[in-house]
Amino acid sequence: MKANYILYLVTEESVPVEELLFKVEEGVKGGVTIVQLREKLSSGNLFYEKAKRLKELLAQYQVPLIINDRIDVALAIDAEGVHIGQNDIPLTAVKEIVPDSMIVGISVSTVAEAIEAEKNGADYLGVGSMFPTQSKSDAEVLPSGMLDSILKTVSIPIVAIGGIQLNNIAEIRDKNIAGIAVVSGIMKAEDPFLAAKAFRNSFR
């Protein structure tokens, strides 16, 4: 399954399974092209259950599922990809563990990290935080011009992440990024379908 990063939905923490499935499906119907399941607070059993159910749902729409951090869960449910951070198991080790067909992404916030990630075989980069965000309280906003510097340095797809909302999307829309990652803008919207449609229309 080929990845299209245009509208990259990252799920909210600790959303009940049925609510999660409903919101993600509505988002996909509205234009979400790839989904990352992020569950740092869940037990392994619950994470696995959510991932399995989400994989079954997204397969119906041919939308890839990316698992955040948990390589074991990604392998157990045969997810399309895994996403890691700078403090997780090294990218080189991940590439040795997962099949060649699995998409591997990594979060970066500097040019050096981006260069290292591309050299070590990352398929895409999550670059941010672009704006202040409540979804990840410890995320630092990128210095002005950092996204442009990273874009000039690497050739793999870049997804901008962190605090992206409809009222600030214009600041990054014209940059040569592969897509935008949205969390609360869709997951906390009254109507995830309409929210996803609005983000998709605003970005492309």
Q: What is the CATH number of the domain that holds 146?
A: 3.20.20.70
> 48-73 pLDDT, tens per residue?
999 999 999 999 999 999 999 999 99
Structural domains in the chain (count): 1
User: Is 133 one of the annotated binding-site residues?
Assistant: yes
166 domain residue, yes or no: yes
User: Is 39 one of the annotated binding-site residues?
Assistant: yes
Q: What's the CA gap between 83 and 70, in Å, rounded?
A: 8
> 168-198 pLDDT, tens per residue?
999 999 999 999 999 999 999 999 999 999 9
1 domain residue, yes or no: no
Tokens 């996204």, residue located:
147
| pLDDT range class, residue 40, cuts 50, 70, 90 | confident
149 domain residue, yes or no: yes
Q: What is the mean pLDDT of residues 43-50?
A: 91
113 domain residue, yes or no: yes
67 domain residue, yes or no: yes
2 domain residue, yes or no: no
User: Is 134 one of the annotated binding-site residues?
Assistant: yes
Q: Residue 85 — φ and ψ, nearest 5°?
A: -105, 180
* Owning domain of residue 22: 7-203
- Model confidence, pTM: 0.96
User: Is 107 one of the annotated binding-site residues?
Assistant: yes
User: Is 136 one of the annotated binding-site residues?
Assistant: yes
139 domain residue, yes or no: yes
User: Is 184 one of the annotated binding-site residues?
Assistant: yes
199 domain residue, yes or no: yes
